[in-house]
């Protein structure tokens, strides 16, 4: 029977990051992955020959530079590359092009509304200010507000100081931000429907909230606080697909002596005397370890791979009630050529990048209404990207693959369980929507993969297919993530930790959760900290 | 407006590729180089940089100075001028070279193409007709012609560059090795391709007579469409060459013949280019001074630095202590490297202090206020960007 210093359950990018840091600190670590491939939701899969889909997460902005650099991911083969040109498609013929050049972008906004073009500067300034504060907290462990430990008190003071430095007016605004809806928030800035819809769209990605739901303003902020090389709000692609991120981190972990085992699903965490002592695999093998790290979401961790009797009172119920609602679908399409869209100039810098079929706030809210009723909309919100136009490695030359992220898609249907027929009908709704803006689109389709929350949960183990491993609402953020009292990566059972997006700072391919969690483990082991603590935010 | 251009005398000249560049230079971001109109960038410098690292991109090197050196004494003459042994350059091979004054101070660097036993091409950044003439003194059978305007040249760099040239119909292009030259028939003329470049990545340089320049451009861009081809300018060049740790005149070195103040120019040893100085070959300009320099050791050494934080250390001074008491050098080029995610720089540092602590005093501006920070520097042995594909033959398609 093998004995490890640490086992990490789940080879998602955060679990791998956690293992990389533990291995670098000299621990004997093994990562256990149920699938035959690693990466979790940061994965590249060749499901049709010649096409490599990032079939879950598909763009990248939150990956922390400090980790990228510290783990030397460039030498392990990772390069993040930009894509250009995002277009928002209105309900009718209106188009809003996000030109790369600031002045061109301003002129384009003016075409829709002179008022909103000016207001955009104010919005960008405000979002940058809010983002800066949140960004500073990303690579730090949230303080426990009820604790009297010097570290928590110091951290609270630090946080208080950062908040106060915003000024009194902004402080009030900031608090409002966490409770407002994206639509309400944007009402303060804009008058044009398409501009409002375009700016609101990051507020619903991945969440079971609508543009009118309180809390969606924060989701919006969560999606714009990332950056690409200091350009806040910018998004990029991982060359080779999102799996390249996981592969590079895995390579860094292995270079430091870490071990990765695929096809090794964990059935149960072993607990003795309220201490985690190892895991039992689905094949019955037992692996003993001083530390157990779960990279699974909080609900799955405490309701599926742990025995209720091993947990302190109340934890099971907290986990069961953890808000982790599935809301998104994903349609990955291999195309024989580049699609063209109506009412757009023939400018390759804007027609081949990202397409957001947002319509209006009204359309987005109606799609949400369908989700509430346990069905999907025939006029869904779709955010598309054509990575192959910017990354030569993911489709044959001249052919393309298009990632389509769909809001909304319910995890459970009102008319009974998901079936392959229903899944395909959901996929049809997406193709119909794109075809409306790109006549002939359907004829370009070579292969297609439709993923509802049902597939996402079953394949990569995200409960209900929730991409964030739990809603990003204030009751589940910061020191409340995943549960109040457990915001510092340590779990209710001794020697057990969490490293996934169910922990602070939440969803996104950032590698922060795994890194922060490794730092806490090293503190408990009284080892020197080797995990970077800030991402050079002296903005 | 009269039909005569009143300003013709001081307007930069268009390159043979200008008609195509004009359409693609959406930002109208023009600079000039050796009198040629020349793009600083076309769409966005950082995007173009990424095309070099991720797709493929073209850079107009027509303005680079090109000299044809011909005759039975051509080899001997060049060998007398440059520090490397020209006799060792194989036929249809290119060698990176530099040349110095008698005092061993660097005049310029460039490349020598060996096209026949008695025919070479020398390329370099600045005009050097006078120095070439002086260097040919005493060699009877050598003729030197400035062919800068007779040869249009375009660098194609990036991971899909080989695939693009293959698609363009250059048969066997995948077999040419780094620093190798090959001729391809092109519309009744010859297209010369060398596997060279200034980006540290997979790449080629294409040389063609100006009359066929647009034809070549069009065929190249048609072939490159599915491989993400994009023109890039000076700004992206400067980023890629710094990641590859290549030196630039007026950045890392001040050309000796244009240096007013004593020792404000550099020796090859200071620039970490000692490997290009061959003392075993016959006499060459600067030999005895360089021999002495080698024995003594250079005062400064060009050093690759990885600097903490993300503020580029442009123009920063280097100190041996955090309190900035002992000044030991200066940064010559600095940038945030988007590919490596590191804050990189080249710096001239007093050799005797190289093994100690290195701190950079960096100043930056934020909304009109000025800030400073002192950042720890770590020496790097290897260039910041060294993809395997740059040396691989045949290279992959991407």
For residue B228, which residues of chain A lie inside 8 Å, CB to CB? 389-390, 392
For A390-414, what is each residue's pLDDT tens digit?
Answer: 999 999 999 999 999 999 999 999 9
Q: Are A109 and A195 in contact (CB under 8 A)?
A: yes
How many angstroms separate the CA atoms of A18 and A394, rounded?
28
CA distance A375 to chain B (A): 40
**Residue pair A539/A132 in contact by the 8 Å Cβ criterion:** yes
Tally of structural domains, chain A: 3
Residues from chain A contacting residue B227 (CB–CB below 8 Å): 392, 397
For A362-399, write each residue's pLDDT tens digit. Answer: 999 999 999 999 999 999 999 999 999 999 999 999 99
Rounded to 5 degrees, what are φ and ψ at A12?
-70, 170
> Long-range contacts made by residues B25-31, C-beta under 8 angstroms, separation at least 24?
B25/B231, B27/A101, B29/B233, B31/B233, B31/B234
- Class level of CATH domain B8-62+151-243: alpha beta
Q: Tell me if chain B has a CB within 8 Å of the CB of A69.
A: yes
This prediction has a pTM of 0.96
Q: For the domain with range B65-148, which CATH number is right: 1.20.1260.10, 3.30.70.1400, 1.20.1370.20, 2.60.120.10?
A: 3.30.70.1400
Q: Are residues A334 and A436 in the same domain?
A: yes
Split at pLDDT 50, 70, 90, the class of A536 is low
Same domain, A244 and A334: no
Q: Tokens 């890392």 appear where?
A: B252
Note the pLDDT of residue A134: 87
Same domain for A447 and A504? no
| CB atoms near residue B322 (< 10 Å) | 12
CB A520 within 8 A of CB A139: no
Option in A68, A100, A398 nearest B341 (CB): A68
In what helix (H) or strand (E) does residue A352 lie, and over which residues does it extend? none
Over its C-alpha atoms, chain B yields an Rg (Å, rounded) of 22
Domain boundaries, chain B: 8-62+151-243, 65-148, 299-379
Instruction: Determine, for residues B50 and A81 on separate chains, whether the beta-carbon distance falls below 8 Å.
Output: yes
Of A100, A392, A539, the CB nearest to B398: A392
Point out the domain boundary residue: A179, A202, A233: A233
Q: Domain for residue A49, yes or no?
A: no
Do the Cβ atoms of A390 and A418 come closer than 8 Å?
no
- What does pLDDT average to over chain A? 95
What does the block give as tokens for A178? Answer: 């966490």
**A79–B342: do the CB atoms touch at under 8 Å?**
no
B396: Cα separation from own chain's centroid: 24
Considering the domain architecture, whether residues A147 and A229 belong to the same structural domain is answered as yes
Q: Is B50 in CB contact (< 8 Å) with chain A? A: yes
CB contact under 8 A, B226 and A239: no
Q: Does B336 sit within 8 Å of A229, measured CB to CB?
A: yes
A537 to chain B, minimum CA–CA distance in Å? 8
**Considering the domain boundaries, does residue A55 fall inside one?**
no
Same-domain pairing of A345 and A438: yes
Say yes or no: A341 and A438 in one domain.
yes
Chain B within 8 Å of A101 (Cβ-Cβ)? yes
Phi, psi of A157 (to 5 degrees): -65, -45
A129 lies within 8 A of chain B by CB: no
The CATH code of domain B299-379 reads 2.40.30.110
A42 pLDDT more than 80:
yes
Taking only the tens place, the pLDDT of each residue in A218-266 is 999 998 888 777 676 678 999 999 999 999 999 999 999 999 999 999 9
Range of the domain at A262: 3-43+60-80+240-321+473-524
DSSP code of residue B128: -
Q: What is the signed CA dihedral for A235, B28, B232, B251, rounded to 10 degrees? A: -100
CATH (domain of A373): 3.90.660
The residue from A212, A233, A254 where one domain ends is: A233
What is the end-to-end Cα distance of chain B in Å, rounded? 50
Contact (Cβ atoms closer than 8 angstroms) between residue A411 and residue A471: no
Q: Do the strands A328-335 and A445-451 form a parallel or antiparallel pair, or are they unpaired?
A: antiparallel
**Helix or strand run (H / E) with residue A212:** none
A393 in B contact zone (CB under 8 Å): yes
Q: Give the pLDDT confidence score for residue B123 in this predicted structure.
A: 98
A349:B43 CB<8 A: yes
Contact (CB<8Å) B55/A397: no
Contact A392 B342 (CB under 8 A): no
Residue A166: predicted pLDDT: 85
Portion 306-325 of B in contact with A at CB < 8 A: 308-311
Residues A256 and A353 in one domain: no
Token output for A379: 């006029």
Q: Is A260 helix (H, G, I), strand (E, B) or coil?
A: strand
Chain A with chain B: Cβ pairs closer than 8 A: 64
Plot region of B35 (φ>0 → left; ψ -120 to 50 → alpha; else → beta) = left
**Inter-residue contact B118 to B142 (CB < 8 Å):** no
Q: Which of residues 135-174 of B touch A (CB under 8 A)?
A: 159-160, 163, 167
The low-confidence residues of chain B, meaning pLDDT below 70, are 1-2
User: Do residues A126 and A225 share a domain?
Assistant: yes
**H/E stretch holding A463:** none
**A334-372 pLDDT, tens digit each:** 999 999 999 999 999 999 989 999 999 999 999 999 999
- In chain B, residues with a C-beta closer than 8 Å to the C-beta of A393 are 398
Residues written for chain B = 398
Report yes or no on A392 lying in a domain: yes
**Domain CATH code at residue A252:** 3.50.50.60
């Amino acid at each position: 029977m093998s004995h490890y210093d640490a086992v990490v359950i789940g080879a998602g990018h955060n679990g791998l990051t956690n293992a990389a840091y533990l291995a670098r600190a000299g621990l004997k670590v093994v990562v256990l992955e149920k699938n035959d491939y690693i990466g979790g939701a940061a994965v590249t899969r060749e499901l049709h020959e010649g096409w490599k889909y990032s079939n879950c997460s598909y763009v990248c902005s939150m990956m922390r530079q400090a980790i990228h650099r510290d783990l030397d991911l460039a030498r392990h083969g990772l390069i993040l590359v930009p894509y250009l040109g995002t277009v928002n498609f209105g309900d009718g013929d209106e188009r809003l092009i996000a030109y790369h050049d600031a002045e061109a972008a301003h002129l384009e906004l003016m075409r829709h509304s002179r008022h909103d073009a000016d207001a955009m500067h104010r919005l960008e300034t405000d979002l940058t200010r809010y983002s800066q504060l949140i960004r500073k907290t990303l690579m730090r462990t949230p303080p426990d507000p009820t604790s009297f430990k010097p570290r928590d008190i110091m951290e609270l003071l630090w946080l208080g100081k950062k908040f106060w430095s915003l000024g009194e007016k902004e402080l009030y605004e900031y608090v409002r931000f966490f409770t407002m809806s994206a639509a309400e928030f944007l009402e303060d800035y804009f008058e044009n429907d398409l501009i409002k819809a375009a700016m609101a769209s990051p507020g619903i990605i991945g969440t079971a909230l609508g543009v009118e739901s309180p809390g969606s303003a924060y989701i919006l902020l969560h999606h714009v606080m990332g950056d690409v090389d200091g350009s806040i709000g910018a998004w990029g692609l991982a060359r080779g697909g999102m799996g390249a991120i996981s592969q590079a981190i895995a390579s860094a972990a292995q270079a430091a002596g870490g071990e990765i085992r695929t096809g090794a699903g964990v059935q149960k965490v072993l607990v003795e005397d309220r201490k985690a002592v190892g895991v039992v695999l689905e094949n019955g093998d037992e692996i003993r370890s001083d530390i157990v790290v779960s990279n699974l979401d909080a609900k799955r961790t405490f309701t599926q791979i742990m025995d209720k009797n091993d947990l302190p009172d109340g934890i099971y119920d907290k986990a069961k009630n953890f808000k982790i609602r599935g809301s998104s679908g994903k349609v990955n399409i291999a195309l024989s050529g580049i699609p063209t869209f109506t009412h757009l100039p023939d400018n390759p810098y804007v027609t081949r990048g990202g397409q957001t079929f947002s319509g209006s706030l009204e359309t987005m809210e109606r799609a949400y209404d369908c989700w509430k009723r346990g069905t999907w909309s025939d006029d869904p919100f779709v955010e598309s990207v054509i990575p192959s136009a910017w990354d030569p490695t993911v489709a044959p030359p001249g052919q393309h693959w298009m990632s389509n992220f769909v809001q909304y898609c319910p995890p459970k249907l009102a008319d009974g369980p998901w079936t392959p027929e229903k899944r395909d009908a959901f996929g049809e709704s997406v193709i119909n929507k794109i075809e409306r803006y790109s006549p002939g689109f359907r004829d370009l389709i070579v292969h297609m993969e439709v993923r509802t929350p049902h597939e996402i949960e079953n394949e990569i183990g995200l409960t209900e297919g929730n991409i964030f491993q739990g809603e990003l609402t204030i009751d589940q953020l910061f020191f409340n993530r995943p549960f109040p009292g457990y915001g510092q990566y340590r779990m209710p059972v001794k020697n057990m930790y969490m490293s996934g997006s169910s922990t602070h700072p939440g969803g996104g391919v950032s590698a922060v959760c795994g890194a922060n969690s490794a730092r806490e483990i090293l503190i408990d082991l009284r080892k020197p900290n080797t995990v970077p603590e800030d991402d050079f935010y002296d903005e | 407006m009269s039909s005569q251009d009143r300003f013709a005398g001081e307007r930069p000249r268009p390159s043979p590729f200008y008609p195509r560049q004009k359409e693609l230079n959406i930002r109208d971001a023009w600079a000039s180089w050796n009198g040629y109109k020349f793009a600083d960038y076309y769409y966005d410098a950082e995007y173009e940089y990424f095309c070099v690292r991720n797709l493929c991109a073209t850079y107009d090197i027509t303005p680079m100075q090109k000299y044809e050196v011909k005759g039975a004494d051509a080899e001997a003459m060049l060998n007398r001028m440059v520090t490397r042994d020209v006799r060792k350059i194989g036929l249809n091979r290119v060698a990176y070279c530099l040349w110095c004054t008698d005092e061993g101070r660097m005049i310029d660097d460039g490349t020598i193409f060996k096209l026949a036993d008695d025919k070479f091409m020398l390329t370099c950044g600045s005009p050097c007709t006078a120095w070439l003439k002086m260097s040919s003194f005493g060699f009877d059978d050598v003729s030197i012609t400035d062919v800068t305007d007779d040869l249009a040249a375009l660098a194609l760099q990036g991971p899909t560059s080989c695939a693009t040239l293959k698609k363009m119909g250059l048969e066997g292009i995948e077999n040419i090795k780094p620093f190798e030259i090959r001729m391809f028939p092109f519309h009744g003329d010859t297209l010369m391709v060398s596997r060279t470049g200034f980006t540290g990545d997979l790449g080629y340089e294409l040389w063609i007579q100006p009359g066929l320049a647009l034809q070549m451009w069009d065929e190249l861009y048609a072939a490159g469409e599915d491989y993400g081809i994009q023109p890039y300018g000076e700004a992206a060049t400067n980023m890629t060459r710094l990641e590859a740790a290549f030196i630039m005149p007026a950045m890392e070195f001040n050309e000796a013949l244009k240096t007013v103040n004593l020792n404000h120019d550099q020796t090859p040893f200071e620039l970490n280019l000692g490997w290009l100085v061959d003392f075993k070959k016959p006499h060459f300009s600067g030999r005895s001074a360089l021999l002495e320099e080698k024995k003594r050791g250079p005062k400064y050494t060009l050093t690759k630095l990885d600097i903490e934080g993300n503020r580029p250390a442009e123009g920063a001074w280097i100190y041996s202590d955090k309190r900035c008491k002992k000044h030991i050098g200066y940064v010559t080029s600095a940038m945030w490297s988007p590919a490596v995610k590191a804050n990189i720089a080249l710096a001239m540092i007093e050799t005797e202090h190289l093994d100690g602590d290195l701190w950079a005093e960096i100043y930056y501006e934020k909304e009109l206020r000025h800030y400073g920070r002192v950042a720890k520097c770590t020496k790097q042995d290897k260039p910041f960007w060294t993809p395997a594909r740059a040396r691989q033959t045949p290279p992959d398609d991407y």
